[in-house]
Amino acid sequence: MLFPSWAFLLFLAVLVPVYYLVPKRIQWIVLLLANGVFVCFAGLLGAVFMAVTIVTVYAASRGIDTLFISQRDTLAAMKATHTKEERKKERLRFEKKRRGILVACLVVNFGILFALKYGAMLGRLSAGLFGTKAFGQDLALTMGISFYTFSTVGYLLDVYRETIPAEKNPLKLALFTSFFPLLVQGPITRFETAGKALTEPHTFSGERFLSASLRIAWGYWKKLIVADRLLVAVRALCAKPDVYRGDFILVEMLLYAACLYADFTGGIDITIGVGEMLGVPIEENFNRPYFSKSISEYWRRWHITLGEWFKRYVYYPLSVSKPMRALSKGTRRFGVGVSRRVPVYLATLLVWALTGAWHGSNLTFLVWGLLNGAVILLSEELKPLYARFHARFPRLTESAFYRGFTVIRTVLLLSSLRILDCYGTVKDAFSSFFSMFTTWNWGAVFRGGVQSLGLSYFDYAVAFSGVLAMFALSMVQRSGAIRPRILKRGTVFSVCVLLVLIGTILIFGRYGFGFDASQFIYNRF
C-alpha cells in the first residue's frame, strides 16, 4: 500500500474514526490490527519476517531482563556468604549469558536483513566466480525491514544496557515494530518514546487533526508535485551515463538533490502527520539540512534518526571498546595525536561503511559511505586551518556572503558524493562526475538537452516553483515551526491553507493513469 494511493487514503479514512470511536483502552489493539492489515497488504513474506523479528526480540529482551533480575537476586543473596571475587565471577557468568542471547538475536535479525539486502548480490557473485546458478534473485527487500529491524534492535540494545525495562506484553512490542507509518521509510524510532505513546489512550482533538492534515498534505505536495516530477529527469540522466556527461552531470546533481529532499522529507512529513493524527509523536528526521555549513553538520540534520542510531549503538560503544582502547595504547609510540586519532578514524570509517551498506548492496553505496567518512575526517583535520582563516578574516567569515558560500559548498559537495547513488557502478559514477571538468557542453544542455529528459518546460516551471516554495518555507522555518503560526491564525485560515495544498496537488501533482505510482526513494533502502 503506497502512501500516494487511494488504498492508503481509504485505509486512513477508515482507521482514524474507528480509532477514536472505540474505547480508549483498546485503541492500541485497533492500531495493531491496522498494522497487520498494512503489513499483509505489502506481502505475506514480509509479515513472516516481521513476525520472526518480533518473536526473537521479545524472547531475547525478556530473557535478558529475567537474567538481570536473577543476577540482582543472586548477588544480593551471595553478598553475606561469598567473597567479592566469587560475586564478580557470578556477575560475569550472567553477563556472558546475556551477551549470548543478545548476539544470537542480533545474528538472526541482521542475518535476515543481510540475506534480503545482499542475497541477490551474493548470488550473482557466486554465479560469476563458480559458474553456479544465480540464487536469491527474487528475494525482494520486504517493506520497511531496514527501518523496523533497526528500531527493534535498538530497543533490544536499550534493554541489554538496562536503559529501559523489557516490555512484558508481546503485542505491545509487535505494535511498536509494525507501526505502519514507519514502515515506508522510517524514521528509526525509539521504544521509550514512540513505543509508549502507541499504547497510551488518545482523545480526538480537532486542532491536532487539522495540524496533522496540514503536515500530511505538505508531504504529498512535495512528493507529487516536485519529487515525482524531477525523478523523471533524474532517471533519464542516470540511465545513459555514456550520453549525459559534462555539464549534464551538474544538472543531474542539483535535480537529484532537490528530488531526494522533496521525496524523503515529503514521505517523513506524511509519516509524522499520520502519527500525529493518531496521537503518536514521531521523531523529526530533518532539520533544514540544506542550510548546513559542513558535511558533518549536514549529517546531523539529514536522516537524523539513522545517524543517531549509528552513533548510539555503534560509534560510541566501538570508540570505547577494549580493542579500540588497546589499539590507541599500542599506537601511542607514534605520538599522542596518532593514538588519539586511530580509534576515532576507525570507528568513523566503520560507521560510514555500515551506513553505506545499510543503503544498499551495491559497491557504490559502500564507496559513498566511506567517502562521506573521509570528508568528515578531513574536515576535522582542517579545523585548525579554518580557525586561523576565521581569525585572520573575521569580517568576511561572519558575513552573509560567506555563510551562503559555505552552504552552497556543502550542497555541492554532498551532491557530488550522491552521484554514487545514481549509477549502478563506481566506474560509471566517477567517470560521469569527472566528465564535468573535461566536457563543456552547456550549449547542448540548453539546446534540447533538458527537453529530452521526459519533462516539458511546464514541468520544469512547476518543479522549480515547488523548489522555490520549499526554499522559502525553510527560510521562514528559521524563526520557528510554520504550522503553529498557521493554526494561530484561526481554523478558517488553516482550512484555506489545507484546501490550497490539496487543490494544487490535484491539479499539478503527478499521479493517476499514465504516471508511475512511484514508491519513495528511501523505501528501497
Partner 1 sequence: MKRKLLIIGGVLLACIVCFGALWAVSRLCAPKYHDTLIDGHLTGEYYRETTDHDVLFIGDCEVFEHFSPVTLYNEYGITSYIRGGAQQLVWQSYYLLEDALLTETPKVVVYNVLALKYGEPQSEAYNRLNLDGMRWGSAKIGAIRASMTEGEDFMSYVFPLLRYHDRIASLTAEDFTYWFSDGDPVSFKGYVMHTGVDPATETPTETYEKKLPESSILWLERMAALCEAHGVSLVLIKSPSIYPLWHPEWDAEIAAFAKSHGLRYDNMIAENDAIGIDMQTDTYDQGQHLNVFGAEKLSRYFGAVLRDEFGLADHRGEAAYDADYAALTARYEIGKHE
Query: Which residues here bind partner 1, judged by CB under 8 A?
Result: 6, 456, 458-459, 490-492, 495-496, 499-500, 502-503, 506-515
Nearer to partner 1, 446 or 493 (CB): 493
**Shortest spacing between CB 211 and partner 1, in angstroms:** 15
Nearer to partner 1, 101 or 501 (CB): 501
SS (H, E, C) 94-145: HHHHHHHHHHHHHHHHHHHHHHHHHHHHHHHHHHHHHCCCCCCCCCCCCCCH
Between helix 363-381 and helix 426-435 the angle, nearest 10°, is 50
**Shortest spacing between CB 464 and partner 1, in angstroms:** 14
Nearer to partner 1, 187 or 509 (CB): 509
**Shortest spacing between CB 258 and partner 1, in angstroms:** 20
Nearer to partner 1, 131 or 514 (CB): 514
Nearer to partner 1, 472 or 499 (CB): 499
**Shortest spacing between CB 306 and partner 1, in angstroms:** 34
492-506 burial: b if 16+ Cβ within 10 Å, else e: eebeebbeebeebbe
Query: Alpha-carbon distance 255 to 327, whole Å?
Result: 44
SS (H, E, C) 205-223: CHHHHHHHHHHHHHHHHHH
> What count of other Cβ atoms lies within 10 Å of the Cβ of residue 256?
24
Say if residue 235 is exposed, middle or buried (CB neighbours under 10 Å; 0-12, 13-18, 19+). middle
Nearer to partner 1, 444 or 469 (CB): 469
**Shortest spacing between CB 471 and partner 1, in angstroms:** 23
**Shortest spacing between CB 506 and partner 1, in angstroms:** 6
Nearer to partner 1, 356 or 509 (CB): 509
Residue 484 sits at the vertex; the CA angle it makes with 483 and 487, to the nearest 5 degrees, is 85
**Shortest spacing between CB 450 and partner 1, in angstroms:** 16
Nearer to partner 1, 105 or 226 (CB): 226
Question: Half-sphere exposure (CA, 13 Å, Cβ side) for 398?
Answer: 5
Nearer to partner 1, 391 or 507 (CB): 507
**Shortest spacing between CB 225 and partner 1, in angstroms:** 11
Query: Alpha-carbon distance 410 to 153, whole Å?
Result: 32
Contact call for residues 152 and 57 (beta carbons, < 8 A): yes
What's the DSSP call for residue 284? -
Say if residue 23 is preceded by a cis peptide, omega within 30 of 0.
no
C-alpha cell at 478: 528559521
Nearer to partner 1, 36 or 454 (CB): 454
**Shortest spacing between CB 229 and partner 1, in angstroms:** 11
Write the DSSP assignment of 410-454 as a string of letters. HHHHHHHHHHHHHSSSHHHHHHHHHHTTT---HHHIIIIIGGGGS
**Shortest spacing between CB 500 and partner 1, in angstroms:** 8
Backbone angles phi, psi at 442, to 5 degrees: -60, -35
Query: Which element (helix H / strand E) includes 54?
Result: helix 44-78
Nearer to partner 1, 33 or 486 (CB): 486
**Shortest spacing between CB 219 and partner 1, in angstroms:** 19
Nearer to partner 1, 77 or 496 (CB): 496
Nearer to partner 1, 139 or 502 (CB): 502
Contact call for residues 157 and 311 (beta carbons, < 8 A): no
Contact call for residues 372 and 420 (beta carbons, < 8 A): no
**Shortest spacing between CB 200 and partner 1, in angstroms:** 29
Handedness of CA 466, 469, 475, 476 (dihedral sign): negative
Query: Alpha-carbon distance 499 to 240, whole Å?
Result: 40
Contact call for residues 365 and 420 (beta carbons, < 8 A): yes
**Shortest spacing between CB 466 and partner 1, in angstroms:** 15
Query: Alpha-carbon distance 21 to 426, whole Å?
Result: 54
